[in-house]
């Protein structure tokens, strides 16, 4: 679960908009886009609404989540999917170590 910033034309101007995505991985290795959410600000409460929506649409269990370590995100995941384990996305770990040093 993460967001990607895209350039979008809005009112004759090009502006940055974020599209948030949740991708699931089945036990057989097949990936599935669970949903895309455009343009809201990323926060733990935003992701709580996303997780609740995913649960309401039939996802019963999540084994592992990979996140950007947003403050409060892991708690929100565990509220909706209590058996889930969370790890920080490898790309975010690399970016953070390069940004802040070892």
Domain ranges within the chain, ordered by starting residue: 2-100
Condensed to tens digits (0 to 9), the pLDDT of residues 69-81 reads 677 778 888 899 9
pLDDT at position 39, please? 67
pLDDT at 80: 92
Helices (H), 37-72: 44-56
List, in order, residues 6 or more apart from 34 with CB less than 8 Å away.
Answer: 22, 23, 24, 54, 57, 59
Banded pLDDT at 97 (limits 50, 70, 90): low
Alpha-carbon gap, residue 17 to 9, rounded angstroms: 10
Does residue 80 or residue 1 have the better pLDDT?
Answer: 80
For tokens 């809201």, name the residue.
Answer: 40
pLDDT for 13-45, tens place per residue? 999 888 888 888 888 999 999 888 886 667 777
| Number of Cβ atoms within 10 Å of the Cβ of 15 | 10
């Amino acid at each position: 679960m993460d967001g990607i910033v895209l350039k979008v034309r809005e009112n004759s101007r090009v502006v940055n908009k974020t599209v948030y995505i949740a991708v699931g991985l089945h036990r057989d290795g097949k990936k599935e886009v669970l949903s895309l959410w455009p343009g809201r600000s990323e926060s733990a409460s935003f992701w709580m609404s996303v997780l609740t929506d995913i649960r309401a649409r039939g996802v019963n269990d999540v084994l592992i989540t990979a996140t950007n370590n947003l403050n409060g995100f892991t708690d929100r995941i565990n509220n909706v999917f209590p058996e889930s384990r969370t790890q920080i996305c490898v790309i975010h770990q690399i970016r953070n170590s390069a940004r802040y040093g070892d």
